[in-house]
Structure 1
Amino acid sequence: MPLYIRDDLTADLVARLAKERGMTKQDAVRMAVQAELDRARDAKPLSERMREWRAAHPLPPPTGLRADKAFFDDLSGESG
């Protein structure tokens, strides 16, 4: 079944990709669509990526120190 691309910008992008890769426009479209399908299949949800990042970079243990206004004033060089 034929695929008609009626958008000039899309047609130009396909032609450019085909020329740069030395392939037909049909192969360029197939390669681009397959690459996007592969990317979507392999994509991890943000919640999973964050869970992995947090496991690799855990928070330091609590110090028991109180971070109140006086603490932050001292950090900024202000006397309270």
Structure 2
Amino acid sequence: MPLYIKDPEVDRLTEELISITKTSKVDAVKEALKHEIAKRRAALPLRERLAKSLAMAREAGPFAPGDHKRETDEMWGED
């Protein structure tokens, strides 16, 4: 569904951002939304930000035993 906002303040703010960034209305709104989303995500508690990584680590299971330094060196062709 397309975004349609009929609000004079939103229009004024959009025009101000366009004049600062010298970009299109679509790009200005898109970048403003991306910026706000990133800001809100960064404000989440660390536990919430790491939840996906923690779930992936649990799913992967414990780290396999072995000489990982030697294996990495062999993979890169180093002694």
TM-score by length of 1: 0.51
Residue 14 of structure 1: how far off its partner (Å): 0.6
Q: Structure 1, unaligned stretches of length 5 or more?
A: 46-80
What's the counterpart of residue 9 of structure 2?
9
What's the counterpart of residue 33 of structure 1?
33
Deviations 1:14-73 (A, max 9, x none): 11101110000111110111001000111144xxxxxxxxxxxxxxxxxxxxxxxxxxxx
Residue 2 of structure 1: how far off its partner (Å): 2.5
When Rg is computed on C-alpha atoms for both structures, the one with the higher figure is 1
TM-score by length of 2: 0.51
RMSD (Å) for aligned C-alpha atoms: 1.3
2:12 is matched by which residue type in structure 1? D
Distance 1:26 1:44 in 2: 27
Query: What is the 5 A alignment of 1:34-53?
Result: 34-45=34-45
Give me the identity figure in percent. Answer: 38
